[in-house]
Amino acid sequence: MPGRPAPSRRTVLRGAALTPVAGLGLGACSPGGETVDSEPTAPVDLGAESEIAPGGAKLYRDHNVVVSRDAEGGLKAYSTICTHALCPINKLEGTKLICPCHGSEFDATNGEVLQQPATAPLKELPVQAKGGRIVAGPAPTA
Ligand code: FES
């Protein structure tokens, strides 16, 4: 195109710097490969039970699970895959989960929607304390 300047040195450098990031993104989403953005399909050991105080909650981003503990010590676990458009939720403030994609908010103690656009509650997952560890996720199907 006439008059269009050649790419500046800065543009070229920036393009080169972005390449590894783009490559990583493609790898994580390869078709047919295991997706990282899903809830557990089998029980997973999340960590020490003592990490969650009564009335508190903890977000396990690597597993897309949030676990909360009620005042009596009971545990609840929910998938943190947003029910609006399936983004993994990456933020927990107190017991409020906030989706980065469109701002939906959920209550980590019961999975209920606090703020739309999501309208469906988070999916509850089985959870138990085993030997001082928190284990959450559905039992394997026989
Ligand atoms: Fe979470 Fe849209 S995917 S608000």
The rounded Å distance from CA 81 to ligand 1 centre is 9
In a domain, 61, yes or no: yes
Looking at the CA of residue 89, tell me the nearest atom of ligand 1. Answer: 1
Whole-prediction pTM: 0.75
Q: What is the dihedral of CA 19, 23, 25, 30, to 10 degrees?
A: 160
Average pLDDT over residues 72-90: 97
Q: What is the mean pLDDT of residues 81-98?
A: 98
Which CATH number characterizes residue 67's domain?
2.102.10.10
Structure tokens at 83: 């029910």
Taking only the tens place, the pLDDT of each residue in 91-131 is 999 999 999 999 999 999 999 999 999 999 999 999 999 99
Span between the terminal Cα atoms of the chain, in Å: 63
Closest atom of ligand 1 to CA, residue 86: 3
Q: Please check whether residue 15 lies inside any domain of the structure.
A: no
From atom 4 of ligand 1, which residue's Cα is the shortest distance away?
102
Q: Based on the structure, what is the number of domains in the chain?
A: 1
**CA 34–ligand 1 middle distance (angstroms):** 22
Is residue 82 situated within a structural domain? yes
Q: Does 5 map to a domain?
A: no
Helix, strand, coil content of the chain in percent (nearest 5): 15, 30, 55
Domain for residue 20, yes or no?
A: no
The predicted pLDDT at position 63 comes to 96
105 CA → ligand 1 middle, Å: 9
Please write the tens of the pLDDT for every residue from 9-47.
554 444 444 444 443 433 333 344 444 589 999 999 999
User: Could you tell me what percent of the chain has a pLDDT over 70?
Assistant: 73
φ, ψ of residue 134 in degrees (nearest 5): -95, 125
Query: Which helix or strand (DSSP H or E) is residue 114 part of?
Result: strand 113-115
C-beta of residue 66 within 8 angstroms of C-beta of residue 77: yes
Task: With respect to residue 97, please indicate whether it lies within any of the assigned structural domains.
Answer: yes
Give me the domain span that covers residue 124: 26-136
Residue 142 lies in a domain: no
In a domain, 39, yes or no: yes
Answer whether 121 contacts ligand 1 (Cβ < 6 A).
Answer: no
Scored b (16 or more CB within 10 A) or e, 4-15 reads eeeeeeeeeeee
Which H helix or E strand runs over 91?
strand 91-93
Write the residue with the smallest CA distance to atom 3 of ligand 1.
85
